[in-house]
Structure 1
């Protein structure tokens, strides 16, 4: 009997959190640069943390889909890491919100209906059946996608000896008196999603589908399988491609880093009523377990990424607003018809049109809170926290779960802001370095993240003015200079083959877009093959005539013996000369522009030792470095460069380390210099950089 009571406690109190021990005399402070506009926010947060015995927290506040403030307070449970907006943390049931949005996106794309049946003949998952092919409770055949979204499928988490089937491996590891699903199914190994679904199809529902609310992690496990079935892609791949990448959420991933602490990442634990378990020191918690929890509890993220999620979602970047409004759908159940608050699709909501999600049904240690500001809304003491019609969002992640109402805290935080800053969008501050109001630099971006990073900047109208791709320690990396341009529209394509780029260029030309930048590289994730990345700009919006010529992947011999001299005779000069070597063959992607002056010079196979001297010699002839590219041939570092006539003040720095690059990006802006080109290369197994600054 004692074990049964313990299990009931477990159902109510188990969620992904970061356990903590709080020292009463510990001085909790802010961890990042504060802001006068948000000083009251900091005071409220610090007071709340100290009074309620939290060791730390991190948060972000957005207004009008713009992230305006982020901050970290105190430390993590161990006291070894400061809580910051970049800290990788388990987001528990916010995973359900991500899954719900995926379902809405599939619905928006007309790939499925929310009223579609899930099981049985003609059901979405008709191929998943029990081992004996008999679904025990025929009411299961009436379960729809909508029922799963709103937790009214009839499956719950309070049935004795079973409880939450998604936590079955955890219960057993803790010695609780629960049904052993793997044993009953004759499985010797790790349970899969389909194993649990097949097992549950042999059990009775707790209520008729659509009639009662039963919070169910299992229901969202099924939704993950629906995403896979409809999209034809693994769940994780679909989420990354259709949700994370479009919004620039490069830090969000399933499960923690497998080797524990990495940078600002954190070792999470699972909290049980009888004690906490560290997932890295207990053999129960493996990457397989987080993959099992994928669509219901499995995602890890940061304040920056979650803020990008809510802001991108509410502005219509993923689905249009008519579909987004479905998040707040009231269940058709008569029982919930008169309730002031209810569970919609992956979020809680109420009559005020606000919606929010917490870490678990009974846990408030993680909060995503979006407030619709259509009328002035008040909180305690008559304070208004909707002073205009711009919606507000708050993301709060505590260092532990102390069972406090942080939704009410979020309302107080917003109410405390008397003056909102007019600008200072912060949502890409974790992705790059801001050198002035109009320029961001994102450096050392892995090739598998470059598309997502660019999407985050494009959303804010920061467009690539310079791109460089280079290989360091066998990894292809990108450095991009983003400049603010609200007048023109841009499109960016990364890592395309020559054939796919040909088709893409043709399509963009029909839409009025022409190439403004091209760079070629060896894609290490594609066995070193040649790939091309291109920036397109809408020429319909420009009054200037396009006097440029661009091509990619031309043989070096043809370029150097024919193309270069041919265009020179028609007063064209190269402004891009991207060289790539693959399997001993050298190719070039180029761009020519018509020039009045013939005072330009092109270089190839330029050794590092000669680079600075060549720069000085050209400066003496009033030629500045217009383009530079690095490449390796036969193991030797070489450069391709173009110098053109220019009267502007400029400066070149060579052989900067990554640390020096970051420092100079901040310092040089104070001298009114902005980076025009940043070229990366490998030297002594370390990344090094050449930077061309323009006054």
Structure 2
């Protein structure tokens, strides 16, 4: 299903997107795709061409070894850079399992209890809705805290509404979002049901800073990413002029008035249509697909980042049980029990971004990232997972080498 954030409108001219540039686009690929894994490579190439996606990546792991690392460029626009396996992409909500892992690590180190009340930890007023006293860290991580974006909207995308309500200028900050949310009732009683909430993960990021005494980014890099051997990941910035070295450009058919100031300037949706700085804990990280599959290994077995207890907690069933298809939301991951294994996965979506990360049975993990997402009139992006499942299940023999040392 395509998603259009509030305030976004179709761009009048699309010539700035390589998907619409004059001339026939050509597809070039970098990195390594062994012949045994040609089917995975073909899935990506077909998917990219069907959707006119300028920049993409795929990385795959089998039994802890990196067996495929690929960057893809599909464009007739010569300004679009070649995509390397180490190029950086916004990963949107794949950031959530990173944030949840940080909370689990704080609990593992005895710094906080997962049953701790967020209102007490952050000093949030509970006068508007006393039920806020029942929101715990567990409930925030599992999206059972009481906020439902389908009812009251996504507070992380309500910059203009919040600024008007609080009588302030743009841009707003996370403290302003919290102040606005604090004046509104919860959408349901905490623990009563699951409703996906970016705001809940914003609160988790603030808890990480309060308990650790460090910035969110600093704590994650020091306690999680460095021990996992992940060196490139960092928080993204909102403007194209602020892009990190090696970061791809982002594309959308939509524009909007910037939320980064009060100028009313019309900007491309990925560059000022939302405030990237407020999305750190719920969707703000940059990573390559290689970084993502390297990071995902921390959930395979106890190690320097998470112990066995923390890993079990990451995939624990929430108090409201499982959905009709047998899956549930753990801590930053969707989870489903299959024979002998817990499959875990998540997708991410922001204007200019689609990402997917899956840890599956038989020791197979993969990450795919793209620099545009499904929008009105475009093909379904969610078919990626089913196509990839068909491809990897058909692999007869797997490469035995490990590409991880090549991409430190």
- What is the TM-score when the length of structure 2 is the normalising length? 0.82
Determine if contact 1:22/1:55 at 8 Å carries over to the other structure.
no
Determine if contact 1:65/1:311 at 8 Å carries over to the other structure.
yes
Distance 1:92 1:202 in 2: 27
Q: Structure 1 residue 264 and structure 2 residue 246: aligned?
A: yes
The match for 2:402 is 425
* Distance change >3 Å, CA 105–CA 20, structure 1 → 2: farther
* Matched position secondary structure for 1:124: helix
Distance 2:184 2:201 in 1: 17
What is the correspondence of 1:295-334 to structure 2 with a 5 Å cutoff? 295-317=281-303, 318-333=305-320
Q: Structure 1 residue 398 and structure 2 residue 370: aligned?
A: yes
How far did 1:137 drift? 1.2
Distance 1:329 1:78 in 2: 46
The match for 2:121 is 124
How far did 1:275 drift? 4.2
Query: How far does the alpha carbon of each residue in 1:519-545 deviate from its partner, in whole angstroms, 9 at most, with x for none?
Result: xxxxxxxxxxxxxxxxxxxxxxxxxxx
Distance 1:337 1:294 in 2: 28
Q: Structure 1 residue 204 and structure 2 residue 182: aligned?
A: no
Distance 1:34 1:206 in 2: 47
Determine if contact 1:20/1:399 at 8 Å carries over to the other structure.
no
Q: Structure 1 residue 416 and structure 2 residue 402: aligned?
A: no
Q: Structure 1 residue 156 and structure 2 residue 148: aligned?
A: yes
Determine if contact 1:148/1:220 at 8 Å carries over to the other structure.
yes
How many residue pairs are counted as aligned between the two chains? 381
**Bigger relative CO (Cα 8 Å, ≥ 6 apart):** 2
Select 1:224's aligned residue among 205, 215, 218: 205
Structure number having the greater helix percentage: 2
* Distance change >3 Å, CA 344–CA 262, structure 1 → 2: closer
Select 1:251's aligned residue among 232, 237, 245: 232
Greater Rg over alpha carbons, structure: 1
Select 2:130's aligned residue among 130, 138, 158: 138
* Distance change >3 Å, CA 212–CA 72, structure 1 → 2: same
* Matched position secondary structure for 1:295: helix
Distance 2:343 2:168 in 1: 44
How far did 1:279 drift? 10
* Distance change >3 Å, CA 363–CA 107, structure 1 → 2: farther
Query: How far does the alpha carbon of each residue in 1:649-689 deviate from its partner, in whole angstroms, 9 at most, with x for none?
Result: xxxxxxxxxxxxxxxxxxxxxxxxxxxxxxxxxxxxxxxxx
Distance 2:5 2:150 in 1: 10
Distance 2:76 2:219 in 1: 33
Distance 1:44 1:19 in 2: 23
* Matched position secondary structure for 1:68: strand
How far did 1:296 drift? 0.7
Distance 2:70 2:259 in 1: 27
How far did 1:95 drift? 1.1
Determine if contact 1:56/1:398 at 8 Å carries over to the other structure.
yes
Determine if contact 1:367/1:396 at 8 Å carries over to the other structure.
yes
Distance 2:199 2:326 in 1: 26
What is the correspondence of 1:37-52 to structure 2 with a 5 Å cutoff? 37-52=36-51
Stretches of structure 2 lacking an aligned partner (at least 5 in a row): 10-15, 261-265, 375-379
Distance 1:76 1:241 in 2: 38
How far did 1:30 drift? 2.8
Distance 1:218 1:343 in 2: 16
* Distance change >3 Å, CA 416–CA 52, structure 1 → 2: farther
What is the correspondence of 1:432-511 to structure 2 with a 5 Å cutoff? none
Determine if contact 1:348/1:356 at 8 Å carries over to the other structure.
yes
**Farther off after superposition, 349-358 or 189-198:** 189-198
Aligned-residue RMSD, C-alpha: 3.4
Determine if contact 1:151/1:216 at 8 Å carries over to the other structure.
yes
The match for 2:377 is none
* Matched position secondary structure for 2:389: helix
Structure number having the greater strand percentage: 1
